[in-house]
A and B are shown apart, each in its own frame.
Chain A
């Protein structure tokens, strides 16, 4: 199939890509932009390892066509760290054992980033519910809750509330 030229806005930068219309966003990110942080874990849209933010909303990049995302702002895990340093949630996942093998971690980073963006102080049930978009096979999720709690505390310390 003939390739088509599209513009993809990823992590604040616009890229011009020549891709086949059938190309999945995940493959465009990984193969064409070498943004390999987003992972493929399943083929049936169940695992969440490929989660990215599209206009700020978590979506599965393995279940979207790259060409369908023209004009939308895509954020991948590579866009999470801040000014070259770990974001609070990234630091906390490391410190609290939220990541073991790390393969699902980029997906969880995006899910949690969105959760904390819309709900700065979620209850444990809200956290559990939000995290149910993503599968993890190592942690049993428990240490992620501790990590998220720690990240919230770190954020609150960094930005004293009024």
Chain B
């Protein structure tokens, strides 16, 4: 028998039926009487000053109720306090193709679409910057006036003496890696519905309710308050079902503010749902990244130093950029024992859609470079790639040189498990030609130890109330975005209270009803909201215990709550509550008063009557049903409520250096993976056959969900490794749709064998850590390393598309040179490659496009 009755059991999500029947409501499924459709006018230029906007023609169109522009809500906002550089609608300049210029609220979509065509905007086109390394050289026309050289933020960290260690290293590897840009592509396009109510006392528009596809309802409430200049208490944000986030809904997305601004002006509810193209423009995905990486090791393969220079192409606004560039450096630590780390990170602004947080935030691209280079070192030193990773393990509990506290550390077991399951020892290097195995590791935070808005406020608070009918209601601000946090919360509450899952109802992510939780990002929810739930449940349980102890005439510590029953330790020690023998309830007794334990099947009122009747008749009891304990507790204490909250401990909040706030976490998850691939040497096509992925999640609260998260992470990593790439040409996204942005289909998706490793973290709820992000990063280098094993080419540029792989193979064989990759060698890339063709016609001919350099005295920033 396991120690738990709910925790650790595969559990269907509490909202599964709504999803499989179509009854569950996502934001775009909602409608209100008199609701208008909002459509946004986007910028056709990557960088331009707005000279004039005339909305009068649009306003006159029949069916148009309101047109809003920048001056209707001019207060800037941004997800980071240091990055308040966005407006609901631009006030001065547009900074990327797709930037938000105006919004029409109309009676239907077709009318709104028509009205957009009637808005006259005069632009002064400015030189634009598309490549971050070019952008950093800018002397004028900065994207934001207060960011010289278009550098959003740069950090320069030195821990230890990297130069000395590299000089003394037995073996050094150095290379440039390039990771191209990817995006979340959650299946649900963003949607927001905003409606004002008329205040009964003033008779004027008062409270605002916003339903939105968000991972962060409380930040949304906060930013709405800022931009609309309304008190937060007047704003209610409700998160309906969310069709996937992956970070793409983890900050305030333009439509969320625009819908509210439009609803205010239109004096009617407004719903905006993005087209898929708009989702790509809203983006906030993983920036394309240049990583110049140098790693040194001693002759036994112990890493002595790492030096990394990272340049991220952040797009037109800050978004999470400052955090992303810090994660890239900070999480060089906490996976392996590295005594010397030097990090130079540059977050650069360009005239492209904005990058933000995406699954594995900040860690993924650097991890691709690092784990690839580690294999190169292993090769040079003739050490097995699995072995070199074992030789560099941390020795926890410890604090890394860059100030990250590591307690639970399941990485050694993860490596052992994937080595064993994949048959690494027997098969590595022995597979047929064209087939290979590769290993890599990764890790991630279980929530950031420091919140975005620095304060000592708890990161999560949870309330629980238990009614006389034995129903347990958990009020949590946690945002279920499909990862199953509502289910996690229900499981923890029911485990602690010893009641069945069916008793627990979760009310989540409604700022009017639920206490603050800062959101579903940085994989914080299980750890932080789980702990808050645990504490809330423990608090309310104290009341139940006191009452039950009195009723049962025993010490509080003798009581056991389990399976909807309260028993004494010696009594309730069995798997089944039904025990026979003296002094214990007989099966017959159980079946009568046990009715109460059959959740939801007994009408509350009748039940209460019968219980009260019983109570009068009985003396001290040896066991009680959960309801009896509840009724007793209410009789003693009055209302049954409990509150719990969680704030990361001071020791886990990191060092003192500039930027030390990002990277620290109360706990880290760990992953090791082996990928098996084959490479078609004539076409360069890579097939991933199987990935063995071991993930240390502390404890698997719900194994079916944990496995789903591991598989999903690995699979998304595989997408970034092989098929997904945002293709750019002078700031134009060439593939803003699911047809051309290729998220893998079922036929090329490999089998992923998830292996759960439980290190039981001392601070996690029941020992749990994160399981939804940490596995993504390892997949890309595991595949890269497997490609090397299969065909002996090492790609330094992702994704490993067939043309890149074939170019590398051809170069290796020194065959007749064909430029398969348009001048960028994927084994030694120097710069980002843009799509071929031309936005404008260079040279002779008419100037057809305002960005055409021929039309300008000074050439624009682009280079085709």
Contacts and interface: CB of A to CB of B under 8 A. Distances in A.
Nearest to B702: A97
Contact of A105 (B19, B242, B276): B19
B244 A137 contact: yes
B185 interface: yes
A101 B482 contact: yes
B185 A137 contact: yes
Interface string A110-140: 0000000000000000001101101111111
Contacts of A5: none
Contact of A104 (B187, B241, B708): B187
Contacts of A47: 187, 738
A135 B16 contact: no
A36 interface: yes
Interface stretch (B20-28, B200-208, B435-443): B20-28
A26 to B, nearest CB: 11
A140 B749 contact: yes
B743 interface: yes
B18 A132 contact: no
A8 to B, nearest CB: 17
A43 B752 contact: no
Contact of A39 (B23, B188, B481, B715): B188
Given A86-B17, A137-B244, A42 B747 contact: no
B313 to A, nearest CB: 23
B746 A102 contact: no
Interface string B1-40: 0000000001011011111111111101101000000000
Interface string B252-275: 000000000000000000000101
Interface in B181-202: 184-189
Contacts of A44: 276, 737-739
A104 B188 CA distance: 8
Given A94-B12, A137-B186, A41 B738 contact: yes
A39 B187 contact: yes
A67 to B, nearest CB: 16
Contacts of A61: none
A132 B748 CA distance: 9
A28 to B, nearest CB: 13
A28 B16 CA distance: 26
Contacts of A101: 19, 186-188, 241-245, 481-483
Contacts of A143: 704, 707-708, 711
Nearest to B705: A97
Interface residues of B, number: 57
B711 A142 contact: yes
A102 B241 contact: yes
Contacts of A139: 708, 711-712, 715
B745 interface: yes
Given A103-B188, A128-B747, A77 B737 contact: no
B130 interface: no
A100 interface: yes
A63 interface: no
A96 B289 CA distance: 37
Contact of A132 (B24, B738, B745): B745
Given A103-B187, A142-B751, A97 B704 contact: yes
Contacts of B712: 100, 138-140
A143 to B, nearest CB: 5
Choose among A45, A139, A142 the residue with the greatest number of B CB atoms under 10 Å from its CB: A142
B20 A140 contact: no
B467 interface: no
A40 interface: yes
Given A37-B23, A39-B243, A137-B186, A102 B12 contact: no
B737 A41 contact: no
A18 B227 CA distance: 41
A46 B739 contact: yes
Contacts of A38: 22
B246 interface: yes
A103 B20 contact: no
Contacts of B276: 41-44
Interface in B700-714: 704-705, 707-708, 711-712, 714
B410 to A, nearest CB: 22
B72 interface: no
Interface string B298-321: 000000000000000000000000
B738 A109 contact: no
A35 interface: yes
A139 B714 CA distance: 10
A36 B711 contact: no
Assign chain A's interface to a size class: 35 or more
Interface in A37-68: 37-47, 49
Nearest to B12: A94
Nearest to A129: B747
A94 B13 contact: yes
B31 to A, nearest CB: 8
A95 B12 contact: yes
B738 A42 contact: yes
Contact of B187 (A81, A128, A135): A135
Nearest to B29: A36
A38 B23 CA distance: 10
Nearest to B10: A95
A127 to B, nearest CB: 8
B163 interface: no
Contacts of A76: 22
Contacts of B681: none
A74 interface: no
> Which interface residue of A36, A91, A134, A137 has the most chain B CB atoms within 10 A?
A137
A60 to B, nearest CB: 12
A106 B714 contact: no
Contacts of A142: 711, 715, 749, 751-752
Contacts of B244: 100-101, 103, 137-138
A41 B22 contact: no
A105 B15 CA distance: 13
B141 interface: no
Contact of B21 (A80, A137, A141): A80
B484 interface: yes
A99 interface: yes
A139 to B, nearest CB: 6
Contacts of A96: 704
B685 interface: no
A30 B29 contact: yes
A101 to B, nearest CB: 3
Nearest to B186: A137
Contact of B189 (A41, A131, A141): A41
A36 B273 CA distance: 14
A153 interface: no
Contacts of A137: 184-187, 244, 246, 716, 743
Interface in B306-355: none
Contact of B743 (A49, A131, A132, A135): A135
B763 interface: no
Contacts of B416: none
A70 interface: no
Contacts of B243: 39, 41, 101-104
B277 interface: yes
Count chain A CB atoms within 10 A of each CB in B187, B243, B245, B711 and give the residue with the most: B187
Given A86-B20, A140-B712, 17 more contacts: A30-B29, A36-B25, A41-B738, A78-B23, A94-B13, A100-B708, A101-B243, A103-B26, A103-B186, A103-B187, A109-B20, A128-B747, A135-B743, A138-B244, A138-B712, A139-B711, A141-B715
Interface of A: 30-31, 35-47, 49, 76-78, 80-81, 86, 89-91, 93-97, 99-106, 109, 128-129, 131-132, 134-144
11 contacts: A30-B29, A37-B22, A95-B704, A100-B244, A101-B243, A101-B244, A101-B483, A102-B15, A139-B715, A140-B712, A140-B716
Nearest 7 pairs of A and B residues by beta carbon? A37-B22, A101-B482, A102-B19, A103-B243, A140-B715, A94-B16, A36-B29
